[in-house]
């Protein structure tokens, strides 16, 4: 199990936000943490600790410069997401990203768009592509949500759809949006399902608040999934010690 660190950037600053409170007007956004340090500071920490495959997420417009600074601090050590399309994917790879992460671009108007997915693959290749299948529970089923996690798509996450879509990418990033940023514990049912369904590298995000939660996650996933943690980390104003998380994951 690998620890995949994150750098979330909102209005040019490193922040931790309750994801489903994001909106187009940046009104009533719930911020768990706003850092006094820039994106380069965090990229340097992750580079020095040899943590690869973390992600920089641009939460809205105006965050590209801060994101690129992080990528250049840790070339090919970080992925990037947030507003990625077939037109700008190569730009971010050329500026140091190891992979680009896509969600809304391939779920146009709530519909899975295979043509758009193929267009980005033609531009950069599937080996540089991470598909974000961040999802919410709807009547006991899991559906991808888009547009800053505010709109349900028609794409249900299940064994069949996972097997189909993993042929088009190198990795998955999956936020459990119902618990993301809320520090209330992991979404155990989703973790159990994912560990059985996926056969490519997959990073889960959402709800981890303690080493006990990490132990539960490791047990439920049989060590098959990687983990990312945001608001709970002491790096981002939480109580969970970053160094303990790094050590825990390295020993699993």
Query: pLDDT tens digit string along 66-97?
Result: 999 999 999 999 999 999 999 999 999 999 99
- Whether the predicted pLDDT of 45 surpasses 70: yes
φ, ψ at 106 (rounded to 5°): -100, 0
φ, ψ at 49 (rounded to 5°): -90, 0
φ, ψ at 214 (rounded to 5°): -65, -40
Query: Per CATH, which fold does 6-250 belong to?
Result: TIM Barrel (3.20.20)
Question: Mean pLDDT, to the nearest integer, of 38-56?
Answer: 97
Helix residue spans in 27-87 (DSSP H): 39-48, 64-73
- Whether the predicted pLDDT of 38 surpasses 60: yes
The model's confidence at residue 20, banded by pLDDT at 50, 70 and 90, is low
- Whether the predicted pLDDT of 19 surpasses 70: no
Question: Mean pLDDT, to the nearest integer, of 100-118?
Answer: 94
- Going from N- to C-terminal start, the domains of the chain cover 6-250
Task: Return the pLDDT at 245.
Answer: 97
Distance CA 7, CA 169 (A): 22
Task: Return the pLDDT at 148.
Answer: 75
Question: Mean pLDDT, to the nearest integer, of 151-174?
Answer: 96
Burial of 44 (0-12, 13-18, 19+ CB in 10 A): middle
- Whether the predicted pLDDT of 14 surpasses 90: yes
Question: Mean pLDDT, to the nearest integer, of 8-21?
Answer: 83
DSSP conformation class of 14: E
Distance CA 160, CA 36 (A): 44
Coil, strand, or helix at residue 55? strand
Task: Return the pLDDT at 150.
Answer: 83
Distance CA 99, CA 90 (A): 10
Cα maximum dimension of the chain: 44
Averaged confidence pLDDT in the chain: 93
Task: Return the pLDDT at 24.
Answer: 58
- Whether the predicted pLDDT of 25 surpasses 60: no
Distance CA 87, CA 90 (A): 7
For the segment 180-222, what is each residue's pLDDT rounded down to a tens digit?
A: 878 889 999 999 999 999 999 999 999 999 999 999 999 999 9
Apex 172 CA angle, 64 and 188, nearest 5: 115
């Amino acid at each position: 199990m690998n620890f995949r660190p994150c750098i979330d950037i909102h209005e040019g600053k490193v922040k931790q936000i309750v994801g489903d409170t994001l909106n187009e007007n940046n009104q009533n956004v719930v911020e768990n943490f706003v850092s006094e340090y820039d994106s380069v500071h965090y990229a340097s920490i992750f580079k020095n600790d040899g943590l690869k495959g973390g992600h920089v997420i641009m939460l809205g417009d105006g965050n590209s410069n801060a994101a690129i600074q992080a990528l250049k601090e840790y070339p090919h050590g970080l992925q990037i997401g947030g507003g990625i399309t077939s037109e700008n994917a190569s730009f971010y790879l050329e500026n140091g990203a190891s992979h680009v992460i896509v969600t809304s671009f391939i779920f146009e108007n709530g519909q899975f768009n295979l043509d758009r997915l193929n267009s980005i693959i033609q531009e950069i290749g599937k080996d540089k592509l991470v598909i974000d299948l961040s999802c919410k529970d709807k009547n006991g089923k899991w559906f991808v949500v888009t547009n800053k996690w505010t709109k349900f798509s028609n794409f249900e996450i299940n064994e069949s759809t996972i097997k189909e879509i993993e042929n088009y990418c190198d990795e998955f990033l999956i936020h459990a949006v119902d618990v993301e940023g809320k520090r209330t514990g992991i979404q155990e049912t989703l973790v159990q399902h994912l560990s059985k369904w996926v056969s490519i590298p997959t990073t889960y995000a959402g709800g981890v608040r303690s080493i006990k939660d990490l132990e539960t996650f490791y047990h439920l996933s049989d060590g098959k999934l990687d983990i990312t943690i945001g608001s709970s980390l002491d790096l981002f104003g939480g109580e969970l010690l970053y160094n303990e998380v790094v050590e825990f994951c390295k020993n699993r």
